[in-house]
Chain A
Amino acid sequence: MQTKFNEAQLADPDTRRSNEILRSCVHCGFCTATCPTYKVLGDELDSPRGRIYLIKDMLENNRKPDEKTVMHIDRCLSCLSCMTTCPSGVHYMHLVDHARAYIERNYKRRWDERALRWLLSKILPYPDRFRFALLGAKLVRPFRRFVPDARLRAMLEMAPDRIPPASRNDLPQCFPAEGKRIKRVALLTGCAQRALNTDINDATIRLLKRHGCEVVIPDGIGCCGALTHHMGKTDDSHAMAAANIRAIGAELDGKGLDAVVINTSGCGTTVKDYAHMFRNDPLAADAGRVAALAKDISEVIADIGLRDAWHAEPLRVAYHAACSLQHGQQIRSAPKDLLKAAGFQVVEPRDSHICCGSAGTYNLMQPVISAELKTRKVATLEATQPQVISAGNIGCMMQIGSATGIPMVHTVELLDWATGGPIPQGLAATPELPVREKLPVRSSSSNA
């Protein structure tokens, strides 16, 4: 597509990158077909092609963002389905990230919107604060119908019934491999996930150890920066990412690492993009090293090969493909192949490429569109008549789990169970599973 940036504009590295991206778009419109918001709203402005056009116009003219442009870009889930679809390889993610940062710098949101975003950016990335907020939300939840703002109501409704205590496994330490050590890996323990569900990291650590991995929780590791990055709060997100890069860099320079393992695919997409985020920063080289080593847990286990899966009951598992895995990281078959290798019967819902509406903080900021996507996703998942639903991303798990009675677990919990770990909590509570009797039930404080 033709662009009209002048030399001065192109001197800015972000604009130069956006120009490259815009030049590769031929405006063919394929992306519209697989965009969840376009499917729901049916307006070109809420499709990738429409947003690309809005962004182009805003950036080319150095225009102050207007309310409408901001609204349509805010409605983007960043699910990146468009990038899977795009034949000409338009890097929509970098373009929309640039647009979000541009909007954050040049647009003043209404006071309540600003307050909400500030609050989220100061709570979600910090597990202790988030855990505290969740407890508070649980107390207020019975009174939520008196809350006038749909977004605040959505937040209260998201708070789970059971809020686990902080897990000691998430503290900086090193877990030795079982048997012969074949890899030494760092685990990104995440932020919101640590407050919402400690079982996922516990299962991941057991699974990795069992597969010959020494697992390090590096000192100084924290939120990957994705949550604030998607709000356009570049300073915050870069500060968090820089802390991780330093923490992992120290391990790399020390005993070395074979991989940086991530079990929240939303974070994985961001960590894999650190090289781009820091391309003009003194940390560029270290960021590149970390990004190159970043792997989703399913990639690491697939690489090693699933061991000793003795699971006897071939449960019917509906695999929900998190967008950050299938689109952001282009990982599609590994999780399903592993589940099959573990003895599960894997089914997939129709329109598996469409987002469930979780998308980081999207379900909190855009409750209406998010709820519609959730309804559609749950309907297609339930149509496969599964005994359990699995996904590789805590956001999707919370979103889908809040609307279905079918147990919702992380893929690693099933893999851990099948290779000798305890039955996942979600399944242990389901009476009709015949396998329950045979298996040790894990208590919430079980060690890894």
Chain B
Amino acid sequence: MPTIAMPEPDLGILARASQIIERLTAVVSAEAVISDPQETRAYECDALAAYRCLPLAVVLPRTTEEVSAAMKVCHEMGVPVIPRGAGTSLAGGALPTADSVVIGIMRMRDILEIDTANRFVRVQTGVTNLSVSAELEASGFFYAPDPSSQLACTIAGNIAMNSGGAHCLKHGVTTNNLMGIRMVMASGEIVDIGGPLLSGSGLDILGLLCGSEGQLAIVTEATLRILPRPEGARPMLIGFDSAETAGECVARIVRSGLLPVAIEYMDDVCLRAVDAFANAGYPKCAAVLIVEVEGSEDEILHQIMRIRQIAAELNPVEFRTSRNADESLKIWKGRKSAFGAMGRLGDYLCLDGTVPVSKLPYMLKRIGELSKDYGLEVANVFHAGDGNMHPLILFNANAPGELERAEAFGADILRLCVDVGGCLTGEHGVGIEKRDLMTKQYSADDLAIQMEIKSVFDPDWLLNSAKVFPLEASKPYRDKAVRG
């Protein structure tokens, strides 16, 4: 049995299911409410498919006003709400409970405004990350945060998880590129924060919202900062015969003061799966770094020369730069589809711990040792430049007991991340996956402050409330909340 518990559903809410559905149907169109168990089935999980639960209903609004109307109904009837983007969370961020209504924003996909003169776009948050940059392509701009799932994941989910991505080493993560939001509060009230101006006054509430994992409000519109595309960009591949040496190379590049746009790490297990899909011709060795630099041709060549010098001291197995745009595309296609491609090797758990860059070699060594102890293979693929590790623990979901073993292995790795001065999550969020490990990173007081803040936004604890905080810690808050 999977080891992460979810609270028991509120039987009172289940008893009122038909009234709840009826009221929801009255405020949004009937076609936007899904309640047949055969149909809600598709919404029982996200990309952490080991954990599943049918929601009471799913609502798919088209406007902020419809989100607000649905939220009001849930608020009045005391029904928990699970906000959902594209359902690509690897941490169970969109996992429903049986007494909850899922509000999915994937029908809200309009680009509302493109203003290149003032460098921003305004979008409905159901647009996918990649489609924002695609819209901007003709004007020579792009939106910088690029999570690997950018093809499918939504801006709403990016804001909820403060998503990063390969190129965030230089351009920052979502919070550094978010200028304003329109959100629906737990009460159904619609509130605007920030906007296209560069800074506002007062407390940074926008910063608080970004990364709040759907616990404070549902974000339905966003104003995003956009950047002009660089003159040029080129990735290089550096192969090493040991994971630790590759880790050392990352630390030395960062220490040198160079700032590549991206430093990515993939080990041999991962490369095996990825090359079967992307045919990028990665070097065949224990570990490969993808380092991308950008700028004018001179700047690119200068940076490549310096990185080559740094790498040379560590005797790489191979060092080569991408020869053309097509090759660059394949190199990145492989990296960005790495998680999915790992499915070729079996089931996996994908972790998301972050450590100081200097600790990467030690972490890689320890993960290798733990892999032997647990008897489970692990693949490492991650954003090395900012120390955001993504160990993928391989297991067989159909073999009894293996998921539990993989979870225990994962918990050990995450504890190790905290021990070396890092944290539990870089960009995937806590969700349910790391919920019970939060006490490892935060004291009871730290958690209490965070939960008090949630109570300010969501006094009834309706929004995604079985996530992020250990159930035991959040129990008093959840119990106190008046339901129905």
Contacts and interface: CB of A to CB of B under 8 A. Distances in A.
Contacts of B49: 1-2, 26-27
A50 B42 contact: yes
A1 B347 CA distance: 6
Nearest to A26: B343
Contact of A32 (B152, B339, B398): B152
B340 A45 contact: no
B398 A2 contact: yes
A182 B52 CA distance: 59
Nearest to B88: A29
B50 A2 contact: yes
B38 A87 contact: no
B87 interface: yes
Contacts of A57: 38, 41
Interface in A1-37: 1-4, 23-34
Interface in B327-347: 337-344, 347
Residue of A23, A27, A68 with most chain B CB atoms under a 10 A cut-off: A27
Given A27-B45, A28-B47, A88 B340 contact: yes
A113 interface: no
A196 B152 CA distance: 39
Interface residues of A, number: 35
A267 B203 CA distance: 63
B130 interface: yes
Contact of B149 (A29, A53, A72): A29
Given A25-B343, A26-B342, A42-B126, A68 B36 contact: yes
A66 interface: yes
A42 B47 contact: no
B39 interface: yes
Contact of A33 (B34, B130, B342): B130
A87 B340 contact: yes
Contacts of A66: 38
Interface in B277-291: 277
B43 interface: yes
Nearest to A58: B38
Contacts of B151: 30, 33-34, 85
A383 B153 CA distance: 28
B152 A29 contact: yes
A172 interface: no
A244 B88 CA distance: 44
Given A1-B347, A3-B398, A44-B42, A26 B106 contact: no
Interface in A25-73: 25-34, 42-45, 49-50, 53-54, 57, 66, 68-69, 72
A87 B39 contact: no
A45 B102 CA distance: 14
A3 B43 CA distance: 17
A88 B106 CA distance: 24
Contacts of A29: 46-47, 86-88, 149, 152-153
Contacts of B431: none
A86 interface: yes
Nearest to A4: B398
Interface string A72-87: 1000000000000111
Interface string B26-54: 00000000101011011101110110000
A86 B397 CA distance: 20
Nearest to B131: A33
Contacts of A87: 274, 277, 337-341, 343
A226 B467 CA distance: 47
Contact of A44 (B43, B339, B341, B342): B43
B262 interface: no
A89 interface: yes
A31 B88 CA distance: 11
B348 interface: yes
Nearest to A57: B41
Nearest to A47: B42
B124 to A, nearest CB: 11
Contacts of A31: 152
Nearest to A69: B38
B86 A32 contact: yes
A45 B344 contact: no
B104 interface: yes
A42 B60 contact: yes
Nearest to B276: A89
B36 to A, nearest CB: 6
A42 B341 contact: no
A444 to B, nearest CB: 43
Contacts of A45: 34, 39, 42
A88 B344 CA distance: 5
A54 B38 contact: yes
Interface string B132-163: 00000000000000000101110000000000
B41 to A, nearest CB: 6
A378 B397 CA distance: 45
Given A26-B343, A87-B340, A88-B341, 16 more contacts: A1-B397, A24-B343, A26-B340, A27-B49, A28-B47, A28-B149, A29-B152, A30-B337, A33-B86, A42-B126, A43-B106, A45-B39, A54-B42, A86-B340, A87-B274, A88-B344
Top 9 closest pairs, chain A to chain B, by CB: A88-B343, A87-B340, A87-B337, A42-B107, A2-B397, A26-B343, A50-B42, A87-B341, A33-B152
7 contacts: A1-B397, A27-B45, A27-B47, A28-B47, A57-B41, A72-B39, A86-B340
